[in-house]
Amino acid sequence: MDSFTAITLAVFLPFILAGILPVVEKVLKNRIGWYAAAVALLSLILVAQVAPTVIHGENIQGSIPWIPSVGIDLSFYGDGLSIMFGLIVSGIGVIIMAYSNGYMSKREDLPRYYQQLLFFMGSMLGMVFSANLIQLFIFWELTSITSFMLIGYWRNRPMSVYGATKSLLVTATGGLFMLAGFLLLNAMTGTFDIPTILHSESMIEFIKDHELFIFALILILIGAASKSAQGPFYIWLPNAMEAPTPVSAFLHSATMVKAGIYLVARIHPMFSGTDAWFILVSGVGIITMLVAGFLAFRQTDIKGILAYSTISQLAYLMTMYGYTTHIHPGIGVAAATFHLLNHATFKASLFLVAGIVAHETATRDITKMGGLRKEMPITFILATIGALAMAGIPPLNGFLSKELFYEASWEMGAELGGAFTFVIPALAVLGGVFTFAYSIKLIDGIFLGKRPSRGLPEHIHDPGWTMILPTAFLALLIILFGLVPSIPAHYIIEPATEAILLEPVDLHVSLWHGLTPSLAMTIVTFILGLLIYTRYDSIAAWQNRFNSKHPMISVNYFYDAAVNNAKSTTFGFSSRMQPGTIKTYVTALLLLMIVLFIIPIIVLTPDIIPSTLNFDIQAYEGIVYLFMIVAALGAALLPRYLPAIVSLSGLGYLVGLLFIYLQAPDLALTQVLVETLTTIIFLLAIVKIPQKFREHITPSVMTRDLLIASAVALTVFIMMINATQGIVPPFESLSHYFIEKSIPLAGGHNMVNVVLVDFRAYDTLGEIAVLCLAALGVYNLIHSRGEEE
């Protein structure tokens, strides 16, 4: 199997195998999670299988034509960056699916859960391997949609629904901004193909000098920030914690929230090295890092703390990618990429620990916990490893990448000079201090101290191995990456960094690299972190007081106001647009019809009514017309339903007769049958509605209806005159084409039928689909009305 096929399979197999999951469930019942884990493992193997090729410096590329006319193919591109993401997504995927077997209750709707998880995994893999900007966008939005469904997994909980809606509104809208940015990129380069742009120096130079550069950059960064919860767009992530905890670990810490980071890394060659890049990426990064790290103090929900911590940690990555404008790009990008990998391990493991704790204690409120170390010793160890890695304690992996972050910040400050020499390192240290403090809080609050006398179940214990093993595996990775950093550095970080920078990189990471400024910064971080931790609760209390005093100083305040406003506006609009009386709808439709038909006729024809008319009416036709007029008058004037309906049907049958005279047997047949059927339906309905229908028609309403009816009649008359007299010049009649081609192309003599089932079969398919929907709609209307009563 060649590499391209392997990647294509890794992306699409999760979709296909998730599709048959409801069938598999019939056989496997509750063990369906192991099936899902096996699917994830399959993707992991497929990605891992192509990894050696990429590590040796060979990129994978291939495509299948999709919409060639606009240059959009289904194309995949595998370089170090996408392979790293591919490994993280499928690897964490296996861990999460396995863990879910222990976490999810057997009573839950398991097929839906695993199906959506697999759909998400497929979308995420598709996104990171996309070689085409439009394809990237499609998979990007698919991850938003699957995330929406998974956050709202417990659909009866109002907070789940709120969180799901919020995440969809923020991330999907951000995606649209990103699409606009991609279109600008296309306008500049003339291609949607990412590798083409990346490997063309002239194109990249052209982008950087282009006047659209700044707009494209801002639009794409809005997309990235909304997905990775940066800047004001962070608000969706804390609410996304309503999802089942394995979902939070998978989507909202390890993978999906990193899509924005992936995007920033992906467009790095096109946009970096400019002042705008540094100001926007690092600026937003530093602010988000500090604000989110600070706001984490207030959280009492374990997952809430982890959510704010995720936002803050992702902001580290952003900050470092932005540094490359001013310092040697190798340092910032390598540091960010390494930290990205480390964050995926320690944050996912912390989420899994949070899941275990919530599963065993039935609460996620950290204020109600304490002293669990004796009852859950294994969990305590695993949590400690994760939290200390996050705090940046040696020899765990978080220490290494944080050192690199400090090193990059130190150089950044030195490069900018002046006040920045100390301001930038100081801000970096402050971010680290916050991280240190809430990391300690997680261990101290849950496992150390005294067990509260009330609020916790009596017997708490470590969970079964299905939940312990996946978490332990992550903890092992944390230690391994920390002790032997050359393994990830050589096999994962170097290829990824090379893919971002498009030049060879030689990376050396070690636990001890002498007495450097970054070591001093780390020591300062620990000291300040411990000091701040002693004031942790009073800071949180101050934040709470501030928040209740100034509710306006919050992004959520504006989000809620905007959403509520939109709700009431659309509700008012739709109740005005849809008052529920059929007469209003018909009136609106008819008036629109008049406008739409009359305008082209006025524009296209010299005379609205042609001056030379050529009518050739036979006597027997004349008689039919006469009867038709009588029947039409009868339908309009007869005072009761039954006679009016009979009169209307008579009119219909007369039209059918006319079709026979005009040698259109198909139309005549259809007309007669449809007329019969509508009459039958009328007769069925007639017994259920009031027999008089003229009670509340006032003279003014009558006049209005009369006017509309006459106008419609006049319009149709003008239309027919113009059509039958052949005086709409710009268009040639289509019938010649169909008369000529009907037999050679479709082998049918009945042109009407051939048009329906062959030439315009796609239209017909749409129409019968509408027919099915209408039937389902009627079913729902009738049955749901019964339920409400």
Find out whether 229 and 310 touch, Cβ atoms under 8 Å: yes
User: CA 362, CA 455: separation in Å to the nearest integer?
Assistant: 10
Find out whether 754 and 633 touch, Cβ atoms under 8 Å: no
Residues 6 or more apart whose Cβ sits within 8 Å of residue 752? 666, 667
Which of residues 16, 592, 681, 702 is near another protein by CB under 8 A? 681
Distances (CA, A) of 3 to 45, 58, 77, 91, 498: 12, 11, 10, 19, 20
- In whole angstroms, the minimum distance from the beta carbon of 640 to another protein comes to 17
User: CA 72, CA 125: separation in Å to the nearest integer?
Assistant: 19
Which of residues 619, 762, 784, 789 is near another protein by CB under 8 A? 762
Burial of 762 (0-12, 13-18, 19+ CB in 10 A): exposed
Judged by DSSP in three states, 67 sits in strand
C-beta closer to another protein: residue 636 or 673: 673
The reply on whether position 636 binds another protein by CB under 8 A is no
Which letter does DSSP use for residue 611 in this model? Answer: S
C-beta closer to another protein: residue 176 or 672: 672
Find out whether 99 and 352 touch, Cβ atoms under 8 Å: yes
Judged by DSSP in three states, 729 sits in coil
- In whole angstroms, the minimum distance from the beta carbon of 656 to another protein comes to 12
Which of residues 462, 752, 784, 789 is near another protein by CB under 8 A? 752
User: CA 119, CA 225: separation in Å to the nearest integer?
Assistant: 23
Which listed range, 244-252, 470-478, 645-653, 664-672, lies at the site for another protein (CB under 8 A)? 664-672
The reply on whether position 16 binds another protein by CB under 8 A is no
Beta strands in 242-320 (DSSP E): none
Alpha-carbon torsion, ordered 204, 208, 213, 216, to 10 deg: 40
C-beta closer to another protein: residue 427 or 746: 746
Show contacts with another protein in window 769-788 (CB under 8 A). 769, 771-772, 774-776, 778-779, 782-783
C-beta closer to another protein: residue 45 or 685: 685
Reported residue count of the chain is 789
The reply on whether position 483 binds another protein by CB under 8 A is no
Amino acid type, 376: M
Which of residues 138, 655, 683, 712 is near another protein by CB under 8 A? 683
Which listed range, 48-56, 104-112, 226-234, 670-678, lies at the site for another protein (CB under 8 A)? 670-678
User: CA 433, CA 392: separation in Å to the nearest integer?
Assistant: 10
The reply on whether position 660 binds another protein by CB under 8 A is no
Which listed range, 95-103, 364-372, 509-517, 748-756, lies at the site for another protein (CB under 8 A)? 748-756
Which of residues 1, 674, 713, 714 is near another protein by CB under 8 A? 674
Which listed range, 132-140, 184-192, 425-433, 741-749, lies at the site for another protein (CB under 8 A)? 741-749
Which letter does DSSP use for residue 451 in this model? Answer: P
Q: With left for phi above 0 and alpha for psi between -120 and 50, is residue 87 left, alpha or beta?
A: alpha
Which of residues 417, 580, 690, 747 is near another protein by CB under 8 A? 747
The reply on whether position 750 binds another protein by CB under 8 A is yes
The C-alpha R_g of the chain, in whole angstroms, comes to 34
Nearest to 400 by CA among 446, 357, 336, 456: 336
Question: Two tokens at 302?
Answer: 């374990």
Show contacts with another protein in window 199-258 (CB under 8 A). none
C-beta closer to another protein: residue 636 or 745: 745
Which of residues 670, 705, 708, 721 is near another protein by CB under 8 A? 670
C-beta closer to another protein: residue 487 or 745: 745
Find out whether 365 and 483 touch, Cβ atoms under 8 Å: no
Residues making contact with another protein (CB under 8 A): 665-666, 669-670, 673-674, 676-677, 680-681, 683-685, 746-750, 752-754, 756-758, 761-762, 764-765, 768-769, 771-772, 774-776, 778-779, 782-783
